[in-house]
Structure 1
Amino acid sequence: MSRGPSRSFHLLGRRLAVVATAVASVVPLALTGAAAAPARAAACNGYVGLTFDDGPSGSTSALLNALQRHGLRATMFNQGQHAAANPAQVRAQVAAGMWVANHSYTHPHLTGLNQAQIDSEIARTQRAIADAGGGTPKLFRPPYGETNPTVKLVAARYGLTEIIWNVDSQDWNGASTDAIVQAAARLTNGQVILMHDWSANTLAAIPRIAQGLSGRGLCAGMISPQTGRAVAPT
């Protein structure tokens, strides 16, 4: 009879030991997970805006693949006529985590047009992108970076924030891959770089751009409609 309670206490002790071991193994994991999240966030000491104009095009798929492979997100300033002709590529941009924006319908010199013509360029692009599945753009880049009070007024009427750039990669002017990488290396927190969807040299530069940003603690962010600066993605 005396062995009954003793055995019960012995079994209870073993069970408590098992529970304690299980709890001890879980707590460090929970703490490790909690500590890991801030560590990942701390890796981004600032954000830059990677932008690609003139798409979507036959080069879009390769560009999206390169961006995704290197963990980069970007803002795609699409021409309305190209969005209308390539709706699947607009959807692919969204599916790849990119932000789709307005770059006019036919890429004209807007400052040489009257208000009605400017309105048509912007309005048709808003519709083309929305119809293609790209959502309603919040950002607008005038072709060639050319703007004036009338262009700004019309863009604002459609709830668009005008975005130019801080750094020009010169890819449109035949810049080499090395030169494009060097241009991206000049980016600082909040700044935006101009690149193009169709440039083979820009495509080749993507891995090195990603490596350079990472080495400087910079991450590819979204462009805020409120400030026009690159910020953490939401």
Structure 2
Amino acid sequence: MVTVAALSLVGTAVHGAAAQAAACSGYVGLTFDDGPTGNTPALLNSLKANGLRATMFNEGQYAAANPAQVRAQVSAGMWVGNHSYTHPHLTQQTQATIDSEISRTQQAIAAAGGGTPRLFRPPYGETNATVKAVEAKYGLTEVLWQVDSQDWNGASTDAIVAAAGRLTSGQVILMHDWSANTLAAIPRIAQGLTARGLCAGMISPQTGRAVAPA
């Protein structure tokens, strides 16, 4: 028997989801490279506390060494992507080496409980026809970015917040798992997105653009 209280709870949940969707005039892709690291737990806690979801582009070597953190990423509602095994300049490597970098990372992330990635970010954003051919072999969509937070280059927390403020619907921002300044920027990034009616979405494997979470 379905009670009035149960129906009320369902109605409240549906209304809440509808209200959240109505509040999103667009979606952006928050991405964090080079994890998991010792900073990952704090980053995940801040993202969750601020109602944000993100795509974590993990290095295979770190996924293999820290499988619990890969599982924590998934448990926190994040999506996990492939960022190569050792972060080399792939455009300077042989096809066999590129294949090894990508395939070993697919295996390491899956073995750690992160699922089989569908998204790939080449280290340094460097790509060419050979890299793209190997990506295609593993069914991976290449994801670069439209906004660079410059956190890898020592950008201040204020500068990282300002960079996120330039995001428009569908765009992706590059950030890094290990950056203390990026961690400090998370609450303000969340506030800025909310103020502009934008929500943190997933990156579509079809288009490489940010879309509503599935």
> Normalising by structure 2, what TM-score?
0.94
CA change 1:42–1:108 in 2 (3 A) is: same
CA change 1:41–1:121 in 2 (3 A) is: same
- Which of 115, 121, 143 lines up with 1:163 in the alignment? 143
Residue in structure 2 matched with residue 110 of structure 1 by the alignment: 90
Residue in structure 1 matched with residue 4 of structure 2 by the alignment: none
What SS is found at the alignment partner of 1:172? Answer: helix
CA distance in 1, matches of 2:52, 2:71: 17
What SS is found at the alignment partner of 2:199? Answer: strand
Give the residue type in structure 1 aligned to 2:25: N
Residue in structure 1 matched with residue 179 of structure 2 by the alignment: 199
Displacement of 1:41 in angstroms is 1.5
- Which of 13, 17, 22 lines up with 1:42 in the alignment? 22
Displacement of 1:28 in angstroms is 9.7
Give the residue type in structure 2 aligned to 1:206: I
CA distance in 2, matches of 1:28, 1:128: 44
Deviation per residue, 1:177-229 (Å, 9 max, x gap):
00000000000000000000000000000000000000000000000000000
Deviation per residue, 1:147-181 (Å, 9 max, x gap):
00000000110000000000000000000000000
What SS is found at the alignment partner of 1:49? Answer: strand
CA distance in 1, matches of 2:131, 2:43: 30
Residue in structure 2 matched with residue 76 of structure 1 by the alignment: 56
Q: Following superposition of structure 1 onto structure 2, how do residues 132-171 of structure 1 map, counting pairs within 5 Å?
A: 132-171=112-151
Displacement of 1:38 in angstroms is 2.9
RMSD of equivalent CA atoms? 1.9
- Which of 218, 224, 228 lines up with 2:198 in the alignment? 218
CA distance in 1, matches of 2:49, 2:140: 30
Residue in structure 1 matched with residue 78 of structure 2 by the alignment: 98
Residue in structure 1 matched with residue 105 of structure 2 by the alignment: 125
Displacement of 1:40 in angstroms is 2.5
What SS is found at the alignment partner of 2:24? Answer: coil
- Which of 178, 189, 192 lines up with 2:158 in the alignment? 178
CA change 1:198–1:33 in 2 (3 A) is: closer
What SS is found at the alignment partner of 1:50? Answer: strand
Which structure: larger Rg? 1
User: Greater shift after overlay, 159-168 or 37-46?
Assistant: 37-46
CA change 1:147–1:32 in 2 (3 A) is: closer
Deviation per residue, 1:26-49 (Å, 9 max, x gap):
x99998776554332110110000
CA distance in 2, matches of 1:49, 1:63: 16
Residue in structure 2 matched with residue 54 of structure 1 by the alignment: 34
Displacement of 1:58 in angstroms is 0.3
What SS is found at the alignment partner of 1:54? Answer: strand
CA distance in 2, matches of 1:117, 1:191: 30
Give the residue type in structure 2 aligned to 1:180: I
CA change 1:96–1:36 in 2 (3 A) is: closer
CA distance in 2, matches of 1:28, 1:161: 42
CA distance in 2, matches of 1:203, 1:70: 12
What SS is found at the alignment partner of 2:178? Answer: coil
